[in-house]
Structure 1
C-alpha cells in the first residue's frame, strides 16, 4: 500500500503541476504497473479518482483545520493532504492512524521532513473532528453549498441552475460523484451477445445488462481490460450507451457511405460499420496522426474491413467528398460537461470563454461538413455536454442558416428510454436523470433543394 500511495501521489502531482489529463495519466500508470495485485490497482484507482472528484470539498475541510490554506501549500504537501482527507472521509476501511502515518512517510520520502509535523497535525485534527465540519447553509448559500458538497466550481453551479431546476442540478451533481461501471458495446459482426457474455464471465468479469441499448453490457470486477480475451478478439468496444444511440438513431442502411469527421477513438464509426454489416464504407477522420492511430488500433482489433481511417482537419473542405455522403457524423469538440463523472478534471479546467470558443468552432466545422451530404442526406450532430450554447442553439443556427431541417426519431428510440423531444429530432440526456452520460443528439436532413 505504501508503493500504491506513492504512485497516487505521482499521478496527482502530474495532474496538478503539469495539467495533464487525469484519465490518461491514470491509465498510463495502470498500464505500466500491470504486475500490481487487483486490490492494489483498485485502491490506486479509487484514491486518485476520488481525491480529484471531491477536491473542492476536501480543500474546504482542510482550510477549516489548517493555519496554512491549501492553495498556499507546496504542491507535494497539498497532494498528500488531499489524499489523506479523502481516505479519512470517504474510505472507511482504512484506519485513521494508517492514513496519518503513511502521509508522514510520504512527506519524509519526498524531502519534506521539516513539514511532517504539520502534515501529521492537520490530518489527525481532521480525523478527530470530521463530524464537526461546518458546511455552507443550504438555504442561505445554495450555490456555495452545492459547490462544496458536490465539489463543483461555483460558476458551473450557477450555469447549471440558469438552465435546469435545483432538483435536476442536484441529481446531475450527485451522479458525477457515483462510481461508474464500464459500459461496452458488442461488435455483433464478431459474435453474439451470449458468446460475449460467456467469454467475459469465464474470466470472472461481472456482466450486467445495459440500461437501454440491446447491444450493451455493463461490466465490473475485471483487473485489466486488455487481458480480457473478448477485448483482444474484437468482440466489444468500450462505449457509453448515450454514444451508442448515434448509430441507432441514424438508422444506416447497407451499402451507405458514412463520414465521421471527428472520430477518435472511433466508437461511433465502428458502431456504424457494425450496423452496415461489413457493407458500404465508413470514413473515420480526426485531426492528428496520434488520434488516427487510436482509431486504427480499434479498427484492426475489431476487424472492420469497411472502415477507412484518415487524418483530416474538419474545418477544411474536402472537395472530393462534396455531395457524396448518406450520413455525416459530427460528434464535435465540446466542453465535455456531460462526462465529468468519467473525466474528473474537466470541471476544474472548463471556462466560460472556453465554452464560447468551442461553440464558434462547432459552427465553423458544421458549415463545412454538411457539404459532404447528398440531398436528403442525414447529419448526426452530437456532443457530450449539457450546455445549450453547444447543443440546441447550434441546431437552431443550422436550421436557420444552413438549409438543414430536424428529423424526428421517436420510433427509433429504445423502449426503455423516453425523451419527449425525440419526436422533434433532438434529445438532451442528463446524468442522474437518464441512466447514462450527459449527451446531446440531433438528427438533421439536408434539404433536397439546398445549394452550397
Structure 2
C-alpha cells in the first residue's frame, strides 16, 4: 500500500469503527506499507490530527451532509474527515490538491457518484471558509469547537477546575507530544547517553521536569536505535517518570507494583534501586506480562519477578510484606489525550463511577500489603478529580493510620501542589496530565 491518504483512512477506520488503539494500529499499518519516511510522517499527521479534531470536523460536515452520517459509506465519510482536517489545519498541503486527491481516491475505492458527492461537499466548504459552525455567545460550544472536545468532557473540566484552567487543560491536551526517553544509569551515564544520541543524529534537549529525561526533538524512530535495544534508554513521559521518584526508594527494599504492565514504572523503580532488593510486578492480564519481561530483559533488570494478579482481590500472603507499594491504577486516561486522541470521544463519563469503585478496592488491598512506616504511591493518568483527589480524601478519611506526605518536583507552571499534599500535573507541550499522591503508613 503506497498511497498515504489510503493508509491514513485504513487506520482511522479501525480506530473509529473497531475501537482499535491509534498508536498500535498506526504502527502496524506503517510497517506494512511501502511508504518513505516523508509519507509516513504525513500519514501520522493526518491520523492523529483527524482523530484529535474529529468533533470539530464532524460539526462542520454535519452542515453539508443533510441526510446524516448514517447515509454515507464509512470510507466516504472518513475521506471527507481527513480532507477537512488537511484543508483547515495543515498549511503545507494546498486545498485544491486535497480535493483532487480525495475525489480520485473515492472514485478508485468507491464509485463515481460518491466521488462527485465528496467533490461537492469539499468545494461547498471552501466557498465560505469564514463560516461559523457554533453559537459564539456560548462558552461551552466555543470550547467544544475550538479544541474539539465533547460537551460532556468540557462540562466536566469546567465543573472541576473552572473555565480558565479548563481551557488550559483543553489546550494542553491538544499539544503535539515529543518523544521523551528515560536514561538507564545502570548501563551508561546521562552524559554518555546524551553524546551517543547526538552521534546518532538526534536533535535533543534536557528534560523539562525530570533529571532522568531527554527530549527527542528530531530524529529517526527511537525504538530502532541501538541505545534503546541495549536498554540504555526507555521511552516514557516525564509525568510518569516522577512516580518512581515519589516512592523514597533505596537499595534492598521489598516493593510491590500492583498494576505493572507494560513495565515502564517497574523498570524505573529497579534502576533507582540499582538492581537490589526485590520487586514483585503484577498485572491482571497474563498476555501483558510478556511486555514487562521484555522490558526487564532489554534493560538488564534482575531483581524483579512477574505474576498474574487481580489487584482488586485481596491476597493474604502479601499482608504487611512491602516497604513500598505502587498502584498506578486503571483510570479514564483523560490526561494522555495528547498521545491517544480517540479518548476524547471513546470514553463515557457515566462509566467513571465503576472505575472509581475499582480504584478504591485496589487502594484498600494495597494499604494492607504495606509495612508500618512504608510508602504507598497512588497515581493515575487522568485529570478527573473523582478518580484523583476524591479517592485520596476518601481513603485518608477512612484510614486514620495513614497520612499524605507532600512531594515537590520543582516550581513549574503546570504542576499544581494542593494544600493536602497531592499533586496534579496539567498537560502541556512537555508532559501528560497526571496525578500523584504519596501516602505513609504511620
Task: Give the distance between the partners of 2:2 and 2:124, measured in 1 at CA.
Answer: 22
Query: What TM-score results when the alignment is normalised by the length of structure 2?
Result: 0.95
Deviation at 1:123, TM superposition (A): 1.2
8 Å Cα contact 1:182-1:220 kept in structure 2: yes
Query: What TM-score results when the alignment is normalised by the length of structure 1?
Result: 0.93
1:148 aligns with 2:132: no
Instruction: Report Cα offsets for 1:43-63 as digits up to 9, x if no partner.
Output: 111100000000111112222
Q: Structure 1 residues 423-432 or 225-234, which shifts more?
A: 423-432
Instruction: Report Cα offsets for 1:155-178 as digits up to 9, x if no partner.
Output: 110111101122211111112222
Task: Give the distance between the partners of 1:418 and 1:49, measured in 2 at CA.
Answer: 24
Show the counterpart of 1:40: 39
Show the counterpart of 1:193: 190
8 Å Cα contact 1:11-1:48 kept in structure 2: yes
Deviation at 1:31, TM superposition (A): 3.6
8 Å Cα contact 1:213-1:414 kept in structure 2: no
Show the counterpart of 1:442: 437
Unpaired runs of at least 5, structure 2: none
Task: Give the distance between the partners of 2:99 and 2:2, measured in 1 at CA.
Answer: 12
Deviation at 1:184, TM superposition (A): 1.3
Deviation at 1:397, TM superposition (A): 1.4
Unpaired runs of at least 5, structure 1: 448-452
Matches within 5 A, 1:275-294: 275-294=272-291
Deviation at 1:260, TM superposition (A): 0.5
8 Å Cα contact 2:257-2:281 kept in structure 1: yes
Task: Give the distance between the partners of 1:298 and 1:220, measured in 2 at CA.
Answer: 24
Show the counterpart of 1:106: 105
8 Å Cα contact 2:178-2:430 kept in structure 1: no
8 Å Cα contact 1:2-1:102 kept in structure 2: no
| Partner SS state of residue 20, structure 2 | coil
Deviation at 1:306, TM superposition (A): 1.2
8 Å Cα contact 1:408-1:422 kept in structure 2: no
Deviation at 1:380, TM superposition (A): 0.2
Deviation at 1:367, TM superposition (A): 1.3
Deviation at 1:119, TM superposition (A): 0.4
Show the counterpart of 1:183: 180
Deviation at 1:406, TM superposition (A): 2.8
Q: Structure 1 residues 331-340 or 164-173, which shifts more?
A: 164-173
8 Å Cα contact 2:178-2:215 kept in structure 1: yes
| Residue of structure 2 aligned with 1:355, choices 339, 352, 364 | 352
Show the counterpart of 2:77: 78
Deviation at 1:408, TM superposition (A): 2.5
| Residue of structure 2 aligned with 1:388, choices 375, 385, 388 | 385
Change (3 A) 1:191 1:397: same
Q: Structure 1 residues 220-229 or 199-208, which shifts more?
A: 220-229
Matches within 5 A, 1:201-212: 201-212=198-209
| Partner SS state of residue 338, structure 1 | coil
Deviation at 1:392, TM superposition (A): 0.9
| Partner SS state of residue 188, structure 1 | coil
Alignment: residue pair count: 442
Q: Structure 1 residues 93-102 or 358-367, which shifts more?
A: 93-102
1:166 aligns with 2:196: no
RMSD of Structure 2 on Structure 1 (CA): 1.9
Task: Give the distance between the partners of 1:233 and 1:124, measured in 2 at CA.
Answer: 52
| Partner SS state of residue 210, structure 2 | coil
Q: Structure 1 residues 82-91 or 99-108, which shifts more?
A: 99-108
Deviation at 1:221, TM superposition (A): 2.2
8 Å Cα contact 1:264-1:291 kept in structure 2: yes
| Partner SS state of residue 354, structure 1 | helix
| Residue of structure 2 aligned with 1:327, choices 319, 324, 327 | 324
Show the counterpart of 2:48: 49
Show the counterpart of 1:421: 417
Change (3 A) 1:377 1:144: same
8 Å Cα contact 1:64-1:133 kept in structure 2: no
Matches within 5 A, 1:229-240: 229-240=226-237
8 Å Cα contact 2:209-2:409 kept in structure 1: no
Instruction: Report Cα offsets for 1:98-157 as digits up to 9, x if no partner.
Output: 211211222122233321100011112223322x2214244x211011111111000110
Show the counterpart of 1:9: 9
